[in-house]
Structure 1
């Protein structure tokens, strides 16, 4: 834990500018469930670039020390140093808890007993449960074989489409996710994920939107029905075989489904990157040339491409921690705010800030930087990261095995120019020709 940190007080003007250029655009685009119309405007106005530029100026002005924002009745520190990001995340859950006031208000709409909004005592068994089911210590989950076959099935359906849009992609993606998490019997159950989407839209408003208990009960009951079936080859079967003492499995699974939504956007953006970067696409094709995409494989280069997609356009733009005791950052209850797009796109530290550079995830450069956190970091790092990377890389492998993709819609990703700070995945479109 840092001991030599003394936050400096932001001026009123600085606080207002941070609110206007960092916080409000992030909230408006939808932290829990993306708002496509707002994201399209943010892309067009290049709002992400403005926030990163402001953060760079603040870091220079304040010597990279934490910045205490002027918020009445609250103690909120904005992190400006790459090193401090690593120190705060490493000190989770004590004294920096991931269960913050804002996060509890948002996530309680659809997972009131989820691990991310649990206190220290409740967190231990819930985190243990998540790790036992999701197996973060393994690069290939025990379900890798049936999952690879499911990916191949859905990719084959996508390969029949003359044009690949977000609409066609997301249908196949959710069919895949429901098969993986809940079993074949849930493949076409759009209702369970549609109910979750409605609750997540409420969650965007956090404490400003009333809790819809009846809607949550419908979602919870439908989800539990699938989990009780414990279909072999699905995570539901692993859940059924895992100690559930003191656990509401549905609330943990709700978070997995929520996270897979972001993973779909990451995968589609990664396809856009590969479609526009011939050298990287060539290397990806070399990696899969002699492989059967219906069998499980490590695919390190394609995984690196997925990680780059998250670095360039973080799906969790703000990481929050709340101190459980007084620390060098401030009194107990201090909120520490980490704006990940700044650290992922910081040209003052990252020579590759605005370009597609998958090799940083293979040669140690990313690992050496504690602020590159595509799946958060420290003890609260996402326990499902390897399953997500497996799904995304395996689906990309299957798609590239079938077609050469060319982008025909959405913001162009020119490899000779800095990549945009905001990329709306909902407008991306591709055509595929047989490779």
Structure 2
């Protein structure tokens, strides 16, 4: 059987409607202007249509793009997604060339771009430290949610800027302790480094900025404030930048969950299904691998475009609806908001605990209008301004 290699036209269409718009929105930190345009154009809907075309024309094999000097294969079959994630990091490495180039800007020692025994040790550290029981998540979230609720009651609406300010206070307290609560400079420096990382190879590294950020971070870690992740034993310094990076995505998921009237853990999971904050999962093969009777060469870059698998109307009757019940039982193997297999997000439970606590704390006191089905394929969180009415329960 021959390899499914897309035509030049389909390769161009895939780059134009799937890969380049995803890069333009910002893979490491979202770009507000591009997100606003993407929502206006509903660009994820166009991307999903392209993916359906690739599957119908070339599937179920991975579809190889016609690219000179690089083997790139896009997955179109859910069981292939399951296999790719289950067989990571060997033979499908998480540390792809593109990922290394991007993440080295702000977290050169992060587990995501580590390999071999070093990766195993760092992975074990992440799994041990990133547990909700290590931090008083509910108490921290309630504190900040109460302040945010008062602000929203006085203005009559919840905006992304107000939510993000409260969210980052929560995150800094959980990760580094109460002393870091108001240290906007720390997370602003990280944001600038992440903006550079959006450009991966194309942006020079800002060593002075990175050193300033790392020095400030290490001061909090040296204090090891009780009741924060910083108090956990282990060499946390190289891992914390990634935790802060991941909590940014968690805030986006939580704000969108409020916009659909979601509650609890399933509400957070559904928000992450409907609008995945990791739109592209990448793996790179360390040896030739066989797919549906076809061999793909070593160093093939495998691409999983998650919005397609999460919102495919041909496979999922609930594709464009809020369907929290799907999380209570077995579900489609390609619905992977926190990735899957050995590379699954080690902070998944902590993120779910923090997001659902914020969701429930705000929803206890405030009611927001809900987006109705069919839900938009692209939702610009920066532009969310939600009219809020008190529910009658007083803020303690």
Deviation at 1:120, TM superposition (A): 1.9
Paired residue for 1:356? 322
Which SS does the other structure have where 2:148 is aligned?
helix
User: Cα deviation per residue 1:369-395 (whole Å; 9 max; x = unaligned)?
Assistant: 110000000000000000000001011
Report whether the alignment pairs 1:346 with 2:312.
Answer: yes
Q: Distance in 1 between matches of 2:379 and 2:5?
A: 33
Indicate if the aligned counterparts of 2:6 and 2:58 stay in contact, CA closer than 8 A.
Answer: no
Instruction: Select the residue among 31, 49, 63 that pairs with 1:35.
Output: 31
* Segment drifting more, 93-102 vs 54-63: 54-63
Which SS does the other structure have where 1:320 is aligned?
strand
Deviation at 1:6, TM superposition (A): 6.7
Which SS does the other structure have where 2:288 is aligned?
coil
Indicate if the aligned counterparts of 2:81 and 2:304 stay in contact, CA closer than 8 A.
Answer: yes
Q: Any unmatched runs of 5+ in structure 2?
A: 392-396
Q: Distance in 1 between matches of 2:143 and 2:78?
A: 42
Which SS does the other structure have where 1:176 is aligned?
helix
Instruction: Select the residue among 327, 330, 333 that pairs with 2:289.
Output: 327
TM-score by length of 1: 0.86
Instruction: Select the residue among 148, 153, 163 that pairs with 2:138.
Output: 148
Indicate if the aligned counterparts of 1:6 and 1:66 stay in contact, CA closer than 8 A.
Answer: no
Q: How does 1:162-311 map to 2 (within 5 A)?
A: 162=155, 163-238=157-232, 241-242=233-234, 244=235, 249-274=236-261, 284=263, 302-311=264-273
Indicate if the aligned counterparts of 1:6 and 1:65 stay in contact, CA closer than 8 A.
Answer: no
Q: Distance in 2 between matches of 1:250 and 1:264?
A: 22
Indicate if the aligned counterparts of 2:73 and 2:301 stay in contact, CA closer than 8 A.
Answer: yes
User: Cα deviation per residue 1:187-211 (whole Å; 9 max; x = unaligned)?
Assistant: 0000110000000000000001111
Which SS does the other structure have where 1:390 is aligned?
helix
Q: Distance in 2 between matches of 1:351 and 1:337?
A: 24
Q: Distance in 2 between matches of 1:117 and 1:190?
A: 27
Paired residue for 1:278? none
Q: Any unmatched runs of 5+ in structure 1?
A: 275-280, 285-301, 408-412
TM-score by length of 2: 0.94
Paired residue for 1:410? none
User: Cα deviation per residue 1:46-76 (whole Å; 9 max; x = unaligned)?
Assistant: 1110110111111111132111111111111
Indicate if the aligned counterparts of 1:100 and 1:320 stay in contact, CA closer than 8 A.
Answer: yes
Residues 194 and 6 (structure 1), Cα distance of their counterparts in 2 relative to 1, 3 Å cut: farther
Which SS does the other structure have where 2:368 is aligned?
strand
Which SS does the other structure have where 1:347 is aligned?
coil
Which SS does the other structure have where 1:77 is aligned?
strand
Which SS does the other structure have where 2:375 is aligned?
coil
Paired residue for 1:414? 372
Deviation at 1:251, TM superposition (A): 2.1
Report whether the alignment pairs 1:389 with 2:352.
Answer: yes
Report whether the alignment pairs 1:377 with 2:340.
Answer: yes
User: Cα deviation per residue 1:149-179 (whole Å; 9 max; x = unaligned)?
Assistant: 1111101111112321111111100000000
Q: Distance in 2 between matches of 1:154 and 1:63?
A: 48
Paired residue for 1:318? 280
Q: Distance in 1 between matches of 2:304 and 2:74?
A: 6
Report whether the alignment pairs 1:432 with 2:388.
Answer: yes
User: Cα deviation per residue 1:63-106 (whole Å; 9 max; x = unaligned)?
Assistant: 32111111111111110101100000000110001000110010
Q: Distance in 2 between matches of 1:373 and 1:107?
A: 22
Deviation at 1:272, TM superposition (A): 0.3
- Equivalenced residue count is 383
Q: Distance in 2 between matches of 1:95 and 1:398?
A: 43
Root-mean-square deviation (CA), in Å?
1.3
Q: Distance in 2 between matches of 1:63 and 1:132?
A: 40
Q: Distance in 1 between matches of 2:161 and 2:241?
A: 22
Runs of 4+ with deviation above 3 angstroms: none
* Segment drifting more, 326-335 vs 44-53: 326-335
Q: Distance in 2 between matches of 1:368 and 1:420?
A: 22
Q: Distance in 1 between matches of 2:116 and 2:168?
A: 33
Paired residue for 2:394? none
